[in-house]
Each structure stands twice: as structure tokens, then as C-alpha cells.
Structure 1
Amino acid sequence: MASVNASDASLAPSGEQPTSQPSSMPLDAVRSARQPPPETKEGLWLRRLAILSFWVVVVFLGLPVWLKTTAIYRAELPLQDMAGWAEGKACKPGFPLRIAVEAPILPSDARHLLRTTQHALDDLNEFSAHHLRLILADSPLQSNSSQQIVSDGTSIRSNDEDVVLAVRLIPVETGVTPRSHLQPYSPALDIYYSPSQIPPQSSTASPLATFLAHELHNLFSEEQAQLTHLFLTTPGAKSANTKTLSPETLAELDRQSTKALRYAPTYHLTFSLFSPTHAPSAWDIEAALHAYLAPLLESFSAISNFTVDTQVQLYATFSPSNRQPDYDEELKAWTLRKEDLSGFINAAEWPLSPSIGEGPTVNFVLYVPDQAQSPLLVKENAGNSWLIPQWGGVHIMNLQDEAGTPSTLSVEALAPAMQTFSNQLVSLFGLPQTPASLPLRISTLERVRATSLIYSASSTLGALAQVYRKLPSIPVPDKVAQSTHRTIAHLQQACDLLRDGRFHGALEYARAAQVEAEKAFFEKSMVGQVYFPDEHKVAVYLPLLGPVAVPLIMAALKELKSALKRS
């Protein structure tokens, strides 16, 4: 077959001359042939207006709508006032204790005795915020209000509830004088003296005034120590007016505070009977509580409320992981080691709920061991009861009955256990150990609780202010601001009443301040946002805004580059 050459002139159609084709084209000509036609001025402005319209919609419509729909509302809080309370600058607590003196002697002699005693008390006092004010009662303190004469000679009106102690001067002819007797169940101190011991008007001191001053100072010495310990251990509460405490006293107060329950307006008391066998299966607990514990709870009602329930659990065995009791030949009893007491409560099988009702639960366990392991004692001290700090108490009832374990425990059989539970409740509640008068110890606890609640609510306000400043992304609703203002108002009322010597009212306002402060700090809408960092927000919005923002930004940059090139 013959080859065909396309360039051969013989193959050209008839009547046409063959044309010569260039073998190659210049590079510039090729490039110019591929470029689009030049853009007109109208097209340029149309493209720019299109890009600008997108940016206008985004900036003036989309961005405001996004900011409005995603904005976090933050109510204004009184941060300066909150910081002042947290730093202890807004309130300097004072404790003016009014002590009424009933003296069946001439008014002039009584006033002189009170002035002399007051001077002796001031000399003994090392804690200026806590001072005893002697007032002279011109009538017995049994009416709602009585005219009082203060030790400096001025008269005031004082209610019975504002008087923390009544001192009754009783003249006697026999016995050692002066001597004192503190009533165990009433806030009254009886001072027995000889009429010859009344100081004359010209004297500046007397044995009776010195004796009375020392007695009053000793009665409230532990209260001063507790308040000093509170000031020293609470941030922002340390005062230069507090007295110094010995290391032994500080250690004892630390131990008591560690053992005591945290204050709550309501406590739930649970009394449980546990037995490893089928008996006893019942106990007369209602009558026992009414006889032995109800008076104590009634005394505490001014500070906190109580709810009570009881339960019986049969076949309650020890925890398998805990060491079993050993028989001690010297004690002739089964013993538990002190290090094993923490595992005595079988929390896995014994129905002891840690939180029942409104307030914290205080558990009191009465354990009746099997006759085969009775008596059951603590090896180190041969005791049958112990206290579990901030939880409750345990009492082991060893029934030595030849007839066997009774099916029901009577009120008389429960008396030792109820007395133990009463003492344990007093320790858990933080009641001071002195003086011997229960009303005085409760009034001391009232003042300590009021002060601690003031500082606790103040500390919560300070923590809320720090959260408000450091976390600007969390919402703060109006109810938080309202609770904050109510907290500050209650704190101011409590502090004023405390300095005025109206301690019961101060406790009520301090309790209300604590509730409002906790309500503001633990607001649900705030707590949920505390754990939502900014990185999560970037992860949420970036997939949504990225595809929209990239084309707009690239178009704007390209147009800016083109404009700079043309210029």
C-alpha cells in the first residue's frame, strides 16, 4: 500500500492552491488567545456590589442576630460589698453579755458593788469583743420586761431573753462565804455572802467583788476560747482583739471541731436496733425517746430542728472483711480492737442511709450481740460505746440473762443506751463542755453558731464574687442577684443584733443569710455553665461558620488584591 502525505500538493482539491501551515506558534500568542476578554467597568462594579451585599447581610443582619440569640445574661452583683464581707471588713462581731444581778441590799450599795465588780471583770478580760455587762435588776427577772440599772449608773430596758445569766446575791449567816452555786438547768448563779462583805462606798475593791468577777470570768472562759478559735481558723475573721490560746487548748478545740457536725437548720436522727439473731425483735423506743431524749432536743430547738425515725434489723452480721471479735481471758469478754471499730458498721448490708429528709442524718446504732459473743467490749478501754465523728454513735448492749435474750427491750433496759446517745449527740452538736449549766452551754453554742454562720455566708459571697469575675461566660440570672442582696441584708441584721446582745435574733438572721448565700452560689443555670469551657464553643460553632466564612473571606481578599494590582 502506498503511503499518503497530507502535505502533498497533488492531494489538494482541484481549483485550489495549497497553503503553507506554520510549523509552530509563538508562546505569547498562545497565552493571549487563552485569556478572557477584558472585563468591563460595569461588570467590575457588579461583582464588587455582589460581594459587598453578602458582607452587609452577614455583618448587619447575621452577626447581630447571632449575638442576640447566643448572648449570656449576667445580672449585676454588688461585688464590692461581697468582697467586703468575705474579707471581714463589713462586720466586726461583738458579744456584750448582759448579766442581771438581783441584790436584796440598798440600791446605793448594790450600784457600788456592780461598779467594783465591773472594773474587776474588765481587768480580767483579754478579749475586748467579748465582754460581760452587769446590770442591776430592781425586780425579779420573771416579767417580760423590767427596768435595769447598768453598772455605770444609767438605766436601760432589757428583755428576759437578752439576759444570759441571772446572779442572785443571797445573804447568809453560816458557812464559808463567799461561795457560789450554779443551777444545772437554769441560767442562774447563786452567790452566798455575809452582810459584812458588802464593800463600803469609799472602797475601790472588795473580796466579794473579786470573787464574783472571777466566777463570772471562769463561767465564760471556754466560750471566749471557742470564739477565739473560730476567729483564728476562719479566713478573713482574724482579729487583733482576740486573746492568745495555748497549743493544748488549740489542739483540743481542733479535735472538737473535727468531731462536730456541720451546722444545719434541720437534723435527721435515726435510731437503729441491730441484732445478729432473731431477738430482740422489738424495743420500746418511743417511750424511751420521750423520757430521755425529748428534753434535750427541746433545749436545742432554738438552734436547730430535729426529725426522728427508728428501725429494727435482725440477723445483722459483721462485715466479712472486718476482723472478728476475740475472746480476752483477763476481761472474760469478747473484745473489739480500737483499729477495727471503723469497720464495725456493715455499710453494705445494714440499712443506714446517709441522707434522709431535709438535713444531714445522724445515726445512732444499738447493737445487741449474740449470747455466744456476750459480753462484747472494746479491748483498749473495756467500754461498750464509741463516737464516730460527723456520723453518729454506737452502743453495744450486753444482756446477761440466763433465760436468754428477751424479745422486747423495755424503757428501763434502754436507759443506759439513751444516756449514751444523749452524750454523743451533745458532742456531735458541738456543745461546750463547761459550764455545768445546760442553758448556759446552749446559749454559748447559739453565739458560736451565729458567728460561724455569718462567716460561712460571707465566705460563700466571696466565692460567688470570684466565680463572677473569673468566668464571664456563665449566665447570672436575676434571682441570683436578689439572693445576694437578701444575703447582705440578713448579714447586716445579724451583725447588728450580735453587737446589740440579741443573740437569738442574730442566729435567725445568720441562718437565713446562709440559706440565701447557698441558694445563690448553687444556682442550677450557673453550675451547668461552669464546666463548659471556650474550647467546646469553638468545636460547636466552627463546623457551622467555617463553610460560610471561608468563601466570603477569600472573595474579599481576592478583590482587595485585584484592586491593589490595578492601582
Structure 2
Amino acid sequence: MLHNLTIESQVQFHAPLAFPPISIPDGYGLTLEDLTVHPSSSDAFLLPQWGGIVIHNTPADLPENSPLPPSALDSVFSTFANQLLALLGVPNLPPDIQTDDSALTGWQLDALLWQRALQNGEGTQDTLKSILKLVDQIDNMPVGKDVKGDIQDSLTALEQMYASASVSLNDTLHQSADALTLASRALFYPGMLALLYSPAEHKYVVYIGLLLGAIPVMATTVKEIRAWRRQRGEAGQVE
């Protein structure tokens, strides 16, 4: 049963106020952040993992509700293209490289693929280390054939990734993706997760709790059986 508990004292009702109450009319109070101005020369900004925003000020002589001419949107969509490349993680070109009108150069595409392959390789190593720590920390951790096979295949793919780094970028990227997928599948194997959140010690505690409740019943049953045998023996002696 739940009860509402309150603590009351004389101080709560008779203590004087530290300052007299001030009536504040309804309205909106400006904070220090509202009063702080951060000027910026840019008319666009990024929201990571969401997108980009561009503020376009239309000409003052443009009639209301009139469509914008395509020429007025050239700079806007150029900014959107740069924001998309930034959100995808495409590196900027070195300042000494001249580019054409292409939005994404071959150098940038290769750099992006190398970056993704390197991230997959590092993620694979971290995941395999996490599996090793998990097995060392929890005794009797069941590592089945499926988990063992995924770990071995992940290590093989990781070795092939480094071996193909000087041969083919596409093969390197595919091998890194396979290595990360296999390592993640081994880490999140259902059997390992079940033991992680419900170790064998917890099961023993549950079973002990159930057995403790049955001990009085078993003791009473044994006592009654002994009493019945004693009465039966005494009845046989009387006969």
C-alpha cells in the first residue's frame, strides 16, 4: 500500500520571507541569451544529422507572392550542394588543386571511400576488443560456433582489407564493411546478450528464492510422514 508522506514544521509556516513578493505582469521576459547578438556574415548554417538551412533575402522591389526567377536560386542551390557534401563527410580539396564545375571530384570520392574504409576497420577492431573484454569479465560466457565463426570471418576480412589496400579501393571498402558487419553480429549475438543481462548468478538467486518458499512445506511434509509412521508403529505394537 502506498501513502503520501509530508513533512511539516513550524518553520515552514512561520518563517519570514527573505524578500517581499513582487507582482509580475503577464508577458515574456528577455534573457541574457536573447539580448546577446552574434553577428554573422554567412546566410547559411548546418544542423548535423538533420540538414542545412539557407536564408535568402528577396529583393525589395519583388512583388509579394511572386515566384523567384531561376537565376536567384543559383546561389541557394550551390550552398545546398556544399552543405550536402559537408554532411556526407566529403573532404575539401587542397587549395592548390584547380577544379571544374563538377560538384564532386574523383579525388574527393576516393578520399571519402578511404575514410569510410578506415572507420570500418577501426570500428571492427574496437568491436572485437569489446567481445574479448566481455568474455574475460563474465565467467562461463557461452561462445557458440556461430559467434566463433563470425569472429574468425571478421578477422579474415580485416586482414584482406589491409592486403587489398594497395590494389583496389572498392575491394578494401567491401572487406571493411564485411569485417564490421561480422564483428557487430558476433557482439550482439542473442545468446551472449541474454547472459549479459541475465547472468547465471541471477538465475541461481531466483531459484533459491523459489526453493526457500518450498522448504517449510517440505519440512512439514517430512514431519507428518514421521508422525504417521510413529502412530502406525505404535498401533502395530498394541495389536
Q: Deviations over 1:441-498 (max 9, x none)?
A: 2222322322222121111111111112212355444332232222112111111001
Name the CA distance, whole Å, in 1 between partners of 2:44 and 2:138: 49
Q: Deviations over 1:478-526 (max 9, x none)?
A: 332232222112111111001x332221111111211222222223343
Amino acid at match of 2:64: G
Give 3-state SS (helix, strand or coil) of 2:45's partner. strand
TM-score (norm 1): 0.28
Determine the structure 1 residue equivalent to 2:131: 464
Determine the structure 1 residue equivalent to 2:80: 421
Give 3-state SS (helix, strand or coil) of 1:508's partner. helix
Structure with the largest fraction of strand: 1
Determine the structure 1 residue equivalent to 2:107: 440
Structure 2 unaligned spans of 5+: 1-27, 100-104, 220-239
Q: CA RMSD in A?
A: 3.5
Instruction: Please point out which of 394, 402, 420 is paired with 2:62.
Output: 402
Give 3-state SS (helix, strand or coil) of 1:431's partner. coil
Deviation at 1:413, TM superposition (A): 4.5
Name the CA distance, whole Å, in 1 between partners of 2:68 and 2:115: 39
Instruction: Please point out which of 39, 43, 57 is paired with 1:384.
Output: 43
Alpha carbons of structure 1 residues 322 and 474: separation in structure 2 relative to 1, 3 Å: farther
Instruction: Please point out which of 79, 89, 94 is paired with 1:430.
Output: 89
Alpha carbons of structure 1 residues 411 and 461: separation in structure 2 relative to 1, 3 Å: farther
Alpha carbons of structure 1 residues 430 and 455: separation in structure 2 relative to 1, 3 Å: same
Question: Contact 1:399–1:405 (CA<8 Å) still a contact in 2?
Answer: no
Structure 1 unaligned spans of 5+: 1-319, 327-335, 339-379, 552-567
Determine the structure 1 residue equivalent to 2:210: 544
User: Is 1:450 the counterpart of 2:85 in the alignment?
Assistant: no
Give 3-state SS (helix, strand or coil) of 2:57's partner. coil
Determine the structure 2 residue equivalent to 1:513: 179
Name the CA distance, whole Å, in 2 between partners of 1:537 and 1:440: 57
Deviation at 1:541, TM superposition (A): 0.6
5 Å-filtered alignment, 1:319-334, equals none
Deviation at 1:531, TM superposition (A): 2.2
Name the CA distance, whole Å, in 2 between partners of 1:466 and 1:321: 53
5 Å-filtered alignment, 1:16-35, equals none
Q: Which runs of 4+ in 1 moved over 6 A?
A: 320-323
Amino acid at match of 1:496: A
Name the CA distance, whole Å, in 1 between partners of 2:187 and 2:139: 15
Name the CA distance, whole Å, in 2 between partners of 1:455 and 1:337: 42
5 Å-filtered alignment, 1:141-540, equals 337-338=37-38, 380-400=39-59, 402-406=62-66, 412-435=71-94, 436=97, 437=99, 438-472=105-139, 474-498=141-165, 500-533=166-199, 536-540=202-206
Alpha carbons of structure 1 residues 534 and 441: separation in structure 2 relative to 1, 3 Å: same
Deviation at 1:321, TM superposition (A): 11
Give 3-state SS (helix, strand or coil) of 1:394's partner. strand
TM-score (norm 2): 0.61
Name the CA distance, whole Å, in 2 between partners of 1:321 and 1:452: 47
Give 3-state SS (helix, strand or coil) of 2:164's partner. helix
Aligned length: 180
Alpha carbons of structure 1 residues 528 and 534: separation in structure 2 relative to 1, 3 Å: closer
Q: Deviations over 1:311-342 (max 9, x none)?
A: xxxxxxxxx9999xx9xxxxxxxxx954xxxx
Give 3-state SS (helix, strand or coil) of 2:203's partner. helix
Give 3-state SS (helix, strand or coil) of 1:510's partner. helix
Name the CA distance, whole Å, in 2 between partners of 1:448 and 1:466: 27
Name the CA distance, whole Å, in 2 between partners of 1:322 and 1:492: 60
Deviation at 1:535, TM superposition (A): 5.4
Amino acid at match of 2:115: V
Amino acid at match of 1:495: Y
Alpha carbons of structure 1 residues 542 and 431: separation in structure 2 relative to 1, 3 Å: same
Name the CA distance, whole Å, in 1 between partners of 2:79 and 2:37: 20
Determine the structure 2 residue equivalent to 1:8: none
Give 3-state SS (helix, strand or coil) of 1:393's partner. strand
Name the CA distance, whole Å, in 2 between partners of 1:475 and 1:402: 72
Q: Which has the higher contact order (CA 8 A, sep 6+)?
A: 1
